[in-house]
Amino acid sequence: MPSSAGGGKPALEGTYTVGGQKVKPGFQVFKEHVAKFTPKQAGEICGVDAKQITQIAKDLGEHASIGQTKVVDGKRVPFRPVSIMAYHMAQQENGFQALRAMTMLFMLMGALGAAGGVKSDFTWKIHDNYEELGNVEIEDPPYGPYLKHSKFYPINSGSPSVTALSILDPKKFEVDPKKLPEMMILHMTNAIVAFPNNKVIRDAYKKIDYVAALTPWLSETADYFADIILPTATIEKYEGPLSATDQYTNAKTLRIPPMDPLFESRGEIDIYLDLVERVGVLTGKEGYLDLVNQGLELSGEEAKANGKYALPLDKKPKVRDIFDRWAKANEVKDGIEFFEKEGTLDKGPYPPEEVYGYITDPPFGGVLH
């Protein structure tokens, strides 16, 4: 029952007759579904003793403090001091389903968005994909190499492994051969090690005519496939903006070069500025600089300072100047010099209304499950 509905008593368990049909609340259906997954059965699969699994469940329930609240910076928030560390869990086999199971467990305890409970980000916000992936469109072929909106991978993140599949067998995946990549730029990635199905990645990259690699060292992928390597700096470059939060403090920083790039290496922004200039897409509307302006909120609908600090679209900037403009647009009076001297911009603690889903306006961003 939506909290906005008011009145009434939510039904959690049991069977009811609605409109002449027997129905059950979602909680009852969920309870019946998980009843067959006993500690004994789980222990046989994962190798953890059933008694230990049962004890973990008891510990979670006892420590969840269901019904309790805490006052955080003057705001009363539900208190659920139970959580789970699941960093990179989704990147395992069946990891997405494992995360769904974990999330449902902590939803039952009310720990998502509560003080002491589960956090997936520093502030409570609805991911852009929430709406996008809930309105998946499946188009007719032929498809592009990413297979987005295809009947094969309609929910799509642009995974290099999916692209590799379409390169190897465009007919099977109904890909327009004219859209297959003829050249590729590898940006700071060792693809044949980093992405799933290493053999598929290797076989696909053999079919690409020309490969450029931006990398600070000779990775396996660069060694096997790169026609040209553009040596990239690591810490000795301008880069950002970057979050400097400790989860509770709203802080920003920039990577500031402590020295000139070593040997023949360069910062990747310098490299890209040269590349897009040579192919003629640096300047002008919808050129590289225009996209940088929009990405850093220097121009467009989200422009800071009314677009006062937007990069001119008719000349190549210095990288330092790009970040100087970003800093000033974000009300840092001394611009890049502030970060060169102080390192970090501390904007103070995040207000609890931005951190805890229960007290955002509307609660949980208006999303109900």
pLDDT digits (tens, 9 = 90+) for 341-357: 999 999 999 999 999 99
Position 365 in a domain: no
Same domain (yes/no): 52, 101: yes
CB proximity list for 187: less than 8 A, separation 6 or greater: 214, 268
Q: Do 261 and 195 reside in the same domain of the chain? A: no
**Start-end of H helices in 92-169:** 95-108, 129-132, 160-168
The secondary structure of residue 351, as a DSSP letter, is P
Residue 324 in domain: yes
Distance (Å, whole) CA 195 – CA 222: 15
Give the SS3 label for residue 143.
Answer: strand
The pLDDT value recorded for residue 272 is 97
Q: Which residues contact 172 (CB under 8 A, 6 or more apart)?
A: none
- Say whether both 226 and 252 belong to one domain: no
Higher pLDDT pick, 195 / 289: 289
Which pair of structure tokens corresponds to residue 28? 């009852």
Show the DSSP H helices in 232-369 as ranges. 268-278, 288-295, 319-329, 336-342, 352-355
- Please report whether residue 5 resides in a domain: no
The residues, ordered by sequence, that sit 6+ positions from 30 with a Cβ below 8 Å of its Cβ are 104
Residue with tokens 């290797």: 202
- Summarised one tens digit per residue, pLDDT across range 112-147 is 999 999 988 889 888 877 887 778 889 999 999 999
Chain centroid to Cα 330, Å, comes to 23
Strand partners of residue 212: 185, 228
Sheet holding 183-187, edge to edge: 183-187, 210-215, 228-231
Q: Is residue 4 part of a domain?
A: no
Task: Flag whether 1 is in a domain.
Answer: no
Mean pLDDT of 84-113: 87
Tell me: pLDDT of 368 over 80: no
Which residue in 225, 235, 221, 153 sits closest to 191, CA to CA? 221
**Is the pLDDT assigned to residue 82 strictly greater than 80?**
yes
In a domain? residue 95:
yes
Does one domain contain both 116 and 138?
no
Same domain, 28 and 43: yes
Residue range 86-107: mean pLDDT, rounded: 86
Do 30 and 117 fall within a single domain?
yes
- Confidence check: pLDDT of 27 > 80: yes
Do 114 and 160 sit in the same domain of this protein?
no
In our burial notation (b when 16+ CB lie closer than 10 A, e otherwise), range 15-46 reads eeeeeeeeeebeebeeeeeeeeeebeeebeee
Over 60: is that where the pLDDT of 1 sits?
no
Assigned domain for 163 exists: yes
- Contacts of 35 by beta carbon, 8 Å cutoff, 6+ apart: none
* Residues 235 and 217: beta-carbon distance below 8 Å: no
Question: Partners of 229 in the beta sheet?
Answer: 213
Predicted confidence at residue 68, as pLDDT, reads: 96
Q: What confidence score (pLDDT) does residue 3 get?
A: 58
**Percent of the chain beyond pLDDT 90?**
77
Greater confidence (92 vs 199) lies with 199
The closest of 126, 82, 122 to 102, measured between CA atoms, is 82
- The dihedral region occupied by 176, where left means phi > 0, alpha psi between -120 and 50, and beta the remainder, is beta
* Average pLDDT estimate for 338-343: 95
Label residues 50-62 b or e (16+ Cβ within 10 Å = b).
eeebeeeeeebee
- Examine the domain organization and report whether 250 and 345 are in the same domain: yes
The rounded percent of the chain whose pLDDT value lies above 70 is 98
Residues 28 and 109 in one domain: yes
Establish if 369 belongs to a structural domain.
no
Look at residue 202 and give its three-state secondary structure. helix
Average pLDDT, the chain: 91
Range of the domain at 246: 239-266+280-349
- Tokens for 17? 């007759």
Q: How many domains does the chain have?
A: 4
Cβ contact 230:214 at 8 Å: yes
**Residue-wise pLDDT tens digits, 206-262:** 999 999 999 999 999 999 999 999 999 999 999 999 999 988 899 999 999 999 999
Flag the least confident range among 65-79, 148-162, 171-185: 148-162
Tens digits of residue pLDDT in 303-333: 999 999 999 999 999 999 999 999 999 999 9
Q: Are residues 343 and 243 in the same domain?
A: yes
* pLDDT for residue 136: 83
